[in-house]
Amino acid sequence: MLTNEYLKRVYDETANRNSTDKEFLQAVYEVFDSLQPYVEKHPELEANGIMERLVEPDRMVSFRVAWVDDAGKVRVNRGYRCQFNSSIGPYKGGLRFHPTVTRSVIKFLGFEQIFKNSLTSLPLGGGKGGSDFDPKGKSDAEIMRFCQAFMTELHRYIGADVDVPAGDIGVGGREIGYLFGQYKFLKNNFTGVLTGKGLAFGGSLARTEATGYGLLYFVEEMLKCMKGESLEGKTVVISGAGNVAIYAAQKAMQLGAKVVTMSDSKGYVYDPNGINLDVMKHIKEVERARISEYAKRVPGATYGDNRSDVWKIPCDIALPCATQNELHEDDAKALVANGVTVVAEGANMPSTPEAIEYLLAHGVLFGPAKAANAGGVATSGLEMSQNSQRFSWTFEEVDKKLKEIMVNIFHNSYNASKDCGMEGNLVVGANVAGFIKVSNAMLAEGIF
Ligand code: NDP
Ligand code: 2IT
């Protein structure tokens, strides 16, 4: 509950001004709630209007994206880019193409990105963008025409030292390739304006794997430091079957765990023998087919059409890696009843506030998204460094840096939770640790 007068006033003003932006308000409330002890001790924040300025994006553009489908019909979608905060670096954050994209979704993602990017210790500001375009069922040519139309407007606002987009839901290597090609064509300029690029044109090794691998490096460190345990022999439940989920599963297996579920927006599969990742990758990355295919091909695996049933499968570790608000209080109760010890967020804001409260109250180690999934954007930061150097590092070099960053994020978040008198509450720890650097930069840079 917000008891600090200043935070409460700014939250109420934000809620009035953005009354329909429900996901954005959810993200702001969580951060404000965590910051109360810190804000109490730092009156200069109120004197400089830091919180008022932090909740209002530097700018947000929305634009028409008109494109022509394979049947010759004109289609119109809405595009967005939210440049939220550039106090510690150029705006940085992904693009999401999904029919559920709204202004509120882009703003919540952009707001969280500010603190996540700060936690990476790299010089990256916060931003996010996307469109309500649905890539499902579209031909490659349609995807290309959409990406070109999207970039025809977006190119006015971005640049390697201004704002550097990347992937998110519905935007992977294929889309980044088409977006990059169009930017280069329009500007006649070859720079690292996007990350997640193909290896042939400035991409970084390990960027594809980075979010999922980083999540597991975070979990590994959290388990070691807070419980004296490893991943060896643990049973893991994962939601999602996209970029984050696939590479989270891969690293979990490499570290000796067994992954027994994955899901997509239509349903989930349970494979008590452990997911066969080669089959899953083929279905999802090559065929772009439904996850139900997996159960048809792998003996012993079953398919269920209620995707939230993944949380009812007994496990030691649960990793929500699909989308926001996918893990509710009832799911948290089912996980706790089945003996879960760790929940770590690969997706952005996948757990509802009630679910988080329940998990923390029942002694579950909880790794919040801003900390636990920061490996993707951190490796994007490493891609930017390689582009500036006109040089490529090996997979091992990037992976080693990624691991160091994730271990540091855990310790910085843990230490901040201790400083706030809430040892082990990494929601508070990550929010405070991410905020301190951003607010110090805002204080130093003056009011604008
Ligand atoms: P992908 O598009 O590769 O995969 C998304 C997965 O989640 C798919 O299995 C998809 O199922 C499912 N999904 C998407 N939207 C919904 C929805 N509204 N309801 C139910 N299921 C849904 O995306 P990513 O793996 O890249 O992203 C997953 C999450 O991780 C997102 O929250 C994203 O913001 C976050 N993230 C991504 C990073 C990255 O580098 N890519 C970095 C940090 C966080 P289906 O195929 O049926 O749509
Ligand atoms: O949510 C995220 O951190 C991402 N989608 C990755 C952003 C990036 O710029 O790599």
Closest ligand 1 atom, CA of 349? Answer: 32
Q: Which ligand is nearest to the CA of 239?
A: 1
Centroid of ligand 1 to alpha carbon of 211 (angstroms): 11
Residue 208 confidence (pLDDT): 98
- Atom 46, ligand 1: which residue's CA is nearest? 264
Residue 281 confidence (pLDDT): 98
Residue 279 confidence (pLDDT): 98
Active site residues: 128
Can you list the residues of the chain whose pLDDT is less than 70?
none
Report yes or no: 28 and 14 within 8 Å, Cβ to Cβ: yes
C-alpha dist (Å) from residue 241 to 13, 200, 261, 315: 39, 26, 10, 18
How far apart are the C-alpha atoms of 370 and 9, rounded to whole Å?
25
The CB of 348 under 6 Å from ligand 2? The reply is: yes
Q: Which ligand is nearest to the CA of 347?
A: 1
List pLDDT tens digits, range 364-396. Answer: 999 999 999 999 999 999 999 999 999 999 999
Looking up tokens 């960027």, which residue turns up?
Answer: 207
Residue 247 confidence (pLDDT): 98
Q: Is 129 annotated as a binding residue?
A: no
> What rounded mean pLDDT belongs to the chain?
98
Centroid of ligand 2 to alpha carbon of 396 (angstroms): 21
- Atom 29, ligand 1: which residue's CA is nearest? 347
3-state helix, strand, coil in the chain (%, to 5): 50, 15, 35
Q: Which residues of 18-29 are buried (b: 16+ CB within 10 A; e: fewer)?
A: beebebbbbbbb
The CB of 90 under 6 Å from ligand 2? The reply is: no
- Atom 19, ligand 1: which residue's CA is nearest? 265
Strand order in the sheet with 258-263: 302-304, 268-270, 258-263, 235-239, 317-320, 342-344, 365-367
Residue 360 confidence (pLDDT): 98
Closest ligand 2 atom, CA of 124? Answer: 9
List pLDDT tens digits, range 44-63. Answer: 999 999 999 999 999 999 99
- Atom 3, ligand 2: which residue's CA is nearest? 377
